[in-house]
Amino acid sequence: MDIQALVRELKMKTDSKIVFLIADGIGGLPVEPGGPTELEAAKTPNLDALAKAGVLGSMNPIAPGITPGSGPGHLGLFGYEPVKYLIGRGALEATGVGFKLGPKDVAIRCNFCTLDAAGNISDRRAGRIASEESGPLAIKLREVKIPGVEVFVEPVKEHRFCVIFRGEGLGGRVADTDPQKTGVPPLDPVAHDDASRKTAEVAKQFYAQAVKILAGQPKANGLTMRGFSAAPHIPSYEEVYGLKAAAIAVYPMYKGLAQLVGMEIVGEPNTLQEEIDVLEKEWKNYDFFFVHFKYTDSRGEDGNFAEKVKMIEQFDAIVPRVAALKPDVLVVTGDHSTPAALASHSWHPVPVLLSSPACRPDGCQKFGERETLCGGLGQFSAVYLMPLALAHAGKLGKFGA
């Protein structure tokens, strides 16, 4: 069943407000046998108080066993089936640097590379060129001019940069030009379908002009194109849920993802406290708020259990400011688990807390992975999180008579 289609039919605009407080990668694992996870080890009096009065659950971002990247993880949170609404690597790269993709755009994930005198690739990553060197080169590539097409180039990091073509009739299905080995030249861009022929042509012209601009560079005298994608067609939060949604985040990637689903980016916060300042300031202007906290995931990816615990405690500390705004529904969760024990994203279910006057309390006493196992929301797929939030906010009509 297409739950999003059903919700779209039943949605109602009301005055109630929903807040999603997202601690990226919050789910974890113990580092000692019989020991607590990061969330269980953290002192979280505010989250525990919400858990007591609210309802807990355990969320699979995509399906049992499947580890999501941040893109699919967030789409799932927002109620968009991650397998259905695929965000191509080019689009994700552009989103990641905060580039706002439009319907006429094709985004390409690119690598600087090193070409030898014969024009063959000798280093696929341009000798791990530093961002300080590659950034200006990427910006120089904005000199490329192609009739009928707007060209954008954005530095990402080290050898990575992003190219966006904007114009009529540009399909996104062009094969990668990276031959995946050294000693051969980059491949010509080849279209997978008729709709993308023009894009392949444009990419060829871009390449030809770019290598001229880069000629003589010691490391980055060539480039490969490693992921073409058209902007994904994602129906907006307004269309699907009838919500005027705001996104408050520090990192560009999450602003980009929120924009892809039609949220408005508000404020320019640099810290979690500043994010809550923005939330307070914008409270009257929206009926849905996505507030993103990155460092739980970062410390998890570092493999640093103790620091991830501290980040969770920092996160817990701002909960009273959010609760004071009296949202009708407050959801606290993450996009996936990032256990320090694994130093990477994992498939383990994500703990969810839903606080609302309309929830059915479940006897859970605190917010932690083990406690959620007897939570009232049970174990569920992330695509049901928005329907549950909307229901608790009184924003869904009854199905059938």
**Whole-number minimum distance, CB 384 to its own copies, in Å?**
4
Cβ atoms within 10 Å of 394's Cβ, excluding its own: 16
The helix (run of H) or strand (run of E) holding residue 74 is helix 70-77
322 binds its own copies (CB under 8 A): no
**Whole-number minimum distance, CB 273 to its own copies, in Å?**
30
**Whole-number minimum distance, CB 370 to its own copies, in Å?**
5
Among 16, 37, 196, 199, binds its own copies (CB under 8 A): 37
Give me the 280-319 binding string for its own copies, x by CB under 8 A, dash otherwise: ----------------------------------------
d(CA 401, CA 393): 21
The helix (run of H) or strand (run of E) holding residue 89 is helix 89-96
Give me the 75-94 binding string for its own copies, x by CB under 8 A, dash otherwise: ------xxx--xx-x--x--
d(CA 35, CA 212): 59
CA-CA distances (angstroms) from residue 376 to 53, 244, 355, 397?
Answer: 12, 28, 12, 22
Interface positions, 4-33, toward its own copies (CB under 8 A): 6-7, 10, 29-30, 33
Interface positions, 235-274, toward its own copies (CB under 8 A): none
CA-CA distances (angstroms) from residue 305 to 26, 157, 272?
Answer: 11, 27, 20
401 binds its own copies (CB under 8 A): yes
- Smaller CB distance to its own copies: residue 138 or 396? 396
**Whole-number minimum distance, CB 11 to its own copies, in Å?**
11
Phi, psi values for residue 237, rounded to 5°: -55, -35
Question: Beta strand 121-123 with 18-23: parallel, antiparallel or unpaired?
Answer: unpaired
- Smaller CB distance to its own copies: residue 39 or 170? 39
| CB burial string 240-274: b at 16+ within 10 A, e below | bbbbebbbbbbbebbbbbbbbbbbebbbebeebee
62 binds its own copies (CB under 8 A): yes
Among 72, 232, 256, 300, binds its own copies (CB under 8 A): 72
Interface positions, 171-200, toward its own copies (CB under 8 A): none
Three-class SS state of 190:
coil
**Whole-number minimum distance, CB 22 to its own copies, in Å?**
17
Phi, psi values for residue 5, rounded to 5°: -65, -40
- Smaller CB distance to its own copies: residue 293 or 384? 384
**Whole-number minimum distance, CB 1 to its own copies, in Å?**
6
**Whole-number minimum distance, CB 247 to its own copies, in Å?**
19
Interface positions, 334-373, toward its own copies (CB under 8 A): 342, 344-349, 358, 360-363, 369-370, 373
Interface positions, 120-149, toward its own copies (CB under 8 A): none
Among 12, 13, 43, 63, binds its own copies (CB under 8 A): 63
Task: Output the CA torsion sign for 38, 280, 392, 22.
Answer: negative
Work out the end-to-end distance of the chain between its first and last CA atoms, rounded to an integer number of angstroms.
19
Listed in sequence order, the DSSP H helices in 215-263 are 237-241, 252-260
Interface positions, 370-389, toward its own copies (CB under 8 A): 370, 373-380, 384, 386-389
Number of residues this chain uses to bind its own copies (CB under 8 A): 67
What residues does 112 pair with on adjacent strands?
223
Among 12, 13, 66, 180, binds its own copies (CB under 8 A): 66
Question: Beta strand 245-248 with 121-123: parallel, antiparallel or unpaired?
Answer: unpaired
Tokens (6 digits) for 246:
């705001």
Cβ atoms within 10 Å of 133's Cβ, excluding its own: 17
Residues binding its own copies (CB under 8 A): 1, 3, 6-7, 10, 29-30, 33-34, 37, 53, 58, 62-73, 81-83, 86-87, 89, 92, 342, 344-349, 358, 360-363, 369-370, 373-380, 384, 386-392, 396-401
